Amino acid sequence: MAEFLRWRVGEVTVTRVVELTSASLGSHLLPQASPDIARELPWLKPFVSEKGELVLSFHSLVLECRGEVIVVDTCIGNDKERTYPRWNAMQTNFLADFAEAGFDPQRVATVLCTHMHVDHVGWNTRLVDGRWQPTFANARHLYAEAEWAHWQTHDQTAAFGPVIEDSVQPIFDAGLADLVPSEHAVSDVVTLLPTPGHTPGHVCVHIASKGEEAVITGDLMHHPCQAAHPDWNASVDFDPDLAATTRRGFLNRYADRPVLVIGTHFAGPTAGRIVRDGDAFRLDC
């Protein structure tokens, strides 16, 4: 049985559906984080392995409000040709777990991708009779205009595999893609916020309902240790200086406020509130 974390934000229910967790990528993404980091920062213990490795979660966050279902980020996907061996032609139970959590792909109204990296668009499509078909066939797929423009002149194939070709372009070909500004109202309770740096068109997802707020980070932060060290950039950040500036601005904006911060790659409890901790910050869960 899969474990599904759920949070309530006013009228909105947010459910985490996990594709996989891994302790093998943290040292590559954030090489500054030593195995001693949890001893230095005890509050990080839920987010590291017993050996002190950074644990990352690859999950979708499913939003429900007034009968409408929105999926934020779609993980890695099955059957994809990927350069990272553990992700190549991967087979997981993601769709079965999605159904177990109570969701029907055919009833998803909207798919939001915080950006177009390999681990955020994978389940946009699935292999059917040798062709990549939309997984959420009745959903509008929203992409930031700046993000799509970037990937028209940059290629992920060498680093990750043919990501745009198998997980994004088929959505455009099916007429299910909408390009929107980086600051965009998806509904009266869900808004995209521009947070460039990790990629040029990266966005966070803000939820506001009945006086309550939450924000989904995307890859603005890969791990909570970046709250304590906002200057630690991921090795895959497109513009490291801008990423660090954006991250610190995000932390300052939400620190000491009753806003639930839900990490797109945060394992363990996944969500908490940002509080100031000396010159930096921490995630209180």
- Round the average pLDDT of the chain to a whole number and report it: 97
- Give residue 254's pLDDT: 98
Give the residue ranges of DSSP H helices in the chain: 26-29, 37-40, 94-100, 118-121, 145-151, 163, 169-173, 225-228, 240-254
**Model confidence pLDDT, tens digit, residues 113-166:** 999 999 999 999 999 999 999 999 999 999 999 999 999 999 999 999 999 999
Which CATH superfamily includes the segment(s) 6-284? Ribonuclease Z/Hydroxyacylglutathione hydrolase-like (3.60.15.10)
**Model confidence pLDDT, tens digit, residues 63-118:** 999 999 999 999 999 999 999 999 999 999 999 999 999 999 999 999 999 999 99
- 80: helix, strand or coil: coil
User: Looking at the predicted structure, is the pLDDT value of residue 1 above 80?
Assistant: no
- Give residue 267's pLDDT: 98
- 195: helix, strand or coil: coil
- Output 3 or 145, whichever has higher pLDDT: 145
- Give residue 27's pLDDT: 87
Domain ranges of the chain: 6-284
Pick the closest to residue 264 from 113, 161, 49 (CA basis).
113
Answer for the pair 263, 271: CB distance below 8 angstroms, yes or no: yes
**DSSP one-letter string for 42-73:** GGGGGGB-TTSPBPEEEEEEEEEETTEEEEE-
Region of poorest pLDDT, from 37-41, 43-47, 126-130: 37-41
Reported pTM: 0.98
- Give residue 2's pLDDT: 83
